[in-house]
């Protein structure tokens, strides 16, 4: 899932080399923390959060019943 988000975001932003996805796993779920350049943050979130929501929908669709729940968090440093 980390690679999926990385590939999608890298094609959306102006600075793909600054795209970073960190995977934090616990017993019930996996949290993907996404970091991008400050100037690319709006492109990743999208108008009214549509792009972020679409990526979260893709994550939930890509994880099958047997896998842990994946959550996407966009980190603003």
- Its sign, for the CA torsion 22, 23, 26, 30, is positive
Predicted TM-score (pTM) of this structure: 0.89
Expressed in angstroms, the distance from the first to the final Cα of the chain is: 22
Sheet holding 69-75, edge to edge: 20-25, 29-35, 69-75
Residue with tokens 């993907």: 32
Query: What is the CATH code of the structural domain delimited by 2-75?
Result: 3.30.300.20
- Other Cβ atoms less than 10 A from the Cβ of 35: the count is 18
pLDDT tens column, 32-41:
999 999 999 9
Highest mean pLDDT among 32-41, 53-62, 65-74: 32-41
């Amino acid at each position: 899932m980390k690679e999926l988000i990385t590939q999608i975001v890298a094609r959306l932003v102006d600075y793909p080399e600054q795209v970073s996805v960190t995977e934090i796993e616990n017993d019930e779920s996996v949290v993907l923390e996404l970091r991008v350049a400050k100037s690319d943050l709006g492109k990743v979130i999208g108008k009214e959060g549509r792009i972020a929501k679409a990526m979260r929908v893709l994550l939930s669709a890509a994880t099958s019943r047997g896998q842990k729940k994946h959550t996407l968090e966009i980190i603003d440093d």
